[in-house]
Structure 1
């Protein structure tokens, strides 16, 4: 038997999470059994819990959270890349039909996993998968960055944004990151931002004129959505590229036409939702490349100083939804 934290209904975190005992799950031929060491909070986790994304919820009682780091306990007959004792990490589920990582043990499709970077802790590794793959898809696969290009990242010290900032810098871009206070300014510059922009103090027109002589940025990556997506269309140059992770809104697309823009959306859980084998393999390959970058010291995860245990998951969700965190919130199992 194992302990798991489940939700049986939608609602506020203090009213939904419950600790129960469940049998340790069985694995199929393409899975590994993982002894969970850590997981992290992503917006999709608290949106599912609150009922904002009911179509993504696993069957009740649901075990949420996709990100996991841990130790392989057992492997299926088709698994060749991993063996018992390996330290692994990945984004494995926590969505419809697939339980997540809020438990002492979980199963995972081996194609979604990578071995952890040498010297990295379980808490650090658990912070990376969902946001890392999302940022990687945006910057390495969609942006087609040429060294010297000016790249604007909305949410420069957020979960996705702080890794996108580092990826863009690695590819030779001149990186501009939006921030909202002096502490974030220091963090963004430490991560490699060439310039920071306090979006509360400067209008889009002001910082476009200041940093691009009114021409606009070559690429804008929006990790926040809402008005920031509309602002991205304004901030990018003619025939430039806008990439977003949050396009769930009704937005005037006139500027896309008037400036002949290219718009990409990134939704990294598609391979998990639709059991896309090629997509799962790609996630594993992306994580392996991120692992190399972290081992080389080119990329580092930003962990919020406030951490939580499995039994403090409600407090972790409350903190995540407060908007006060910086980087990723990690839960130790």
Structure 2
């Protein structure tokens, strides 16, 4: 195996390890979670890790043997920003580390990073949740998976995640003047407390083409066609105004959700690409750009969505 192929394989495994560590699937009972937390404290390796990534520098140093047979997550450098709360949404940048050679294999610091819902992380991985809860903004968190930890035969891998900031749970851009909006689309009102949108029942004939109305103009990162987006959304059918999907939930307390833009309906792909983070967008999606041609109950429906763009990140380039 060539050195370059080996680096690529290890970087891929490290990326899988980070995904596993941040997996948002349930892990059993509360009692099991407490036990995992106790094991986590005992499993923190006795090593010192120094780490820096900037435009000029990519350095990592591991002082000690990182060879524990238990997974672990712990703070290696404490930031001086705001503390993390149990229901926060975080922007996190990460790097995949070659433990043996003490090298940074890959990182996403210039790609927009990733989002982590603390509420989902608590349910899915209490060990990693506890580490992030102890990591104020600006902290570096080491996430370690032992040999065979990802799959049989996998090498030990290390990720370092930097807590960049706490993200808002809704669009924070400047409201666009009513005179600039398309009056053929239904009115949108916002809950003063939760900022959740409500969409009035549409009137008249549905547009034949995709219509995009920017309700709030953000000034953040521009969404690319292949971006991973974190959004809050609500969707109704044009024909009857009934809600069929929402990340807000019935009580407007839901959390934003992350998607690969290319995995979504064409209307979202075309309507969100080019928009900026912080924007709130109203879309009218005709059937052919929605679920038309599919065995789907909404196949013949024009769909109306209000989408808050909370975060966007570019994909990690292939090695």
Quick check: TM above 0.5?
A: no
Larger-gyration structure (1/2): 2
Per residue, is there more strand in 1 or in 2?
Answer: 2
TM tier relative to shorter chain: under 0.3
How high is the TM-score relative to the length of structure 1?
Answer: 0.27
Normalising by structure 2, report the TM-score.
0.28
Structure whose residues are more often helix by fraction: 1
